[in-house]
Chain A
């Protein structure tokens, strides 16, 4: 076969396509096919070029696994959980009205809003205009969750549900920092 007419194995290209977003699928697969045909096969031969191509596919795996699948689903599930917990906490504070309930309601409503925004992807859109919103929301969650966890650990009565909610808040905050909008 002449130079520049060879292409990577079809199954490998199909695999690569699965790892890419719609935004980049066509162009990245095209770029790598070009590189394979014009450079990799010419310089290394077919077998090593195939291995080179597999290595390139592998380089997309961590991002795909972490950002699009595991992380996205985890963030969605945790956001739903913290949203439900925050609504429940705000309601209970309003009903019971223990001392300092006003501030706790503000925190609970803030958590609910951040979680709701995360669930419906609004933070992703806001992020395109400024990273600050995502960071602010995430740091607030980490702060509230961390403080609740420490106070509960030091308290005379250890309450399991507080630990679960506070850990969920911290994890959600960390995932928000690590994730990015992938609307394209």
Chain B
């Protein structure tokens, strides 16, 4: 099993999966904020995307820009097979370590 993903990495990967074909940087940023239910800085999302891409967990492609972007290209992300595996491992690990645990109430 490869290194387990952190919560933020999982949120970014799941954001890409949820967005499907619309997963470009800005959309991933919004989706990650929605999933984590807090404000997320652009730097943390792009740093994570960069790291996930370097690890082969996501791949990206460039697409044409729009006038509001000053014509700058968009980078669309896709979760690679290795990324799906990593998500699955993280999910299994969580399920395993929580199995049979009942948190005490009224603490």
Give chain A's interface residues, CB within 8 Å of chain B.
4-5, 7, 21, 23-24, 26-35, 37-38, 55-56, 58-63, 127-128, 131, 180-181
Are B42 and A60 touching (Cβ within 8 A)? yes
Does B91 reach chain A (CB closer than 8 Å)? no
B44, B56, B69: which contacts A34 (Cβ < 8 A)?
B69
State how many angstroms separate the Cβ of A133 from the closest Cβ of chain B.
13
**Of B29, B46, B73, B75, which is in contact with the most chain A CB atoms at under 10 Å from its CB?**
B46
Query: How many chain B residues touch the partner (CB < 8 A)?
Result: 27
Using A33-B68, A37-B68, A131-B55 as known contacts, say yes or no to A27 and B25 having CB atoms under 8 A apart.
yes
Are B66 and A34 touching (Cβ within 8 A)? yes
State how many angstroms separate the Cβ of B1 from the closest Cβ of chain A.
13
State how many angstroms separate the Cβ of A14 from the closest Cβ of chain B.
13
Are B42 and A59 touching (Cβ within 8 A)? yes
Are A34 and B68 touching (Cβ within 8 A)? yes
Are A60 and B43 touching (Cβ within 8 A)? yes
Are B66 and A56 touching (Cβ within 8 A)? no
Does B106 reach chain A (CB closer than 8 Å)? no
Are B47 and A30 touching (Cβ within 8 A)? no
Contacting A at CB under 8 A, from B17-56, are 24-26, 29, 41-44, 46-47, 50-51, 54-56
Are B54 and A128 touching (Cβ within 8 A)? yes
- What is the CA–CA distance of A108 and B72 in the complex, to the nearest angstrom? 50
Are A28 and B42 touching (Cβ within 8 A)? yes
State how many angstroms separate the Cβ of B13 from the closest Cβ of chain A.
17
State how many angstroms separate the Cβ of B80 from the closest Cβ of chain A.
13
Are A59 and B54 touching (Cβ within 8 A)? no
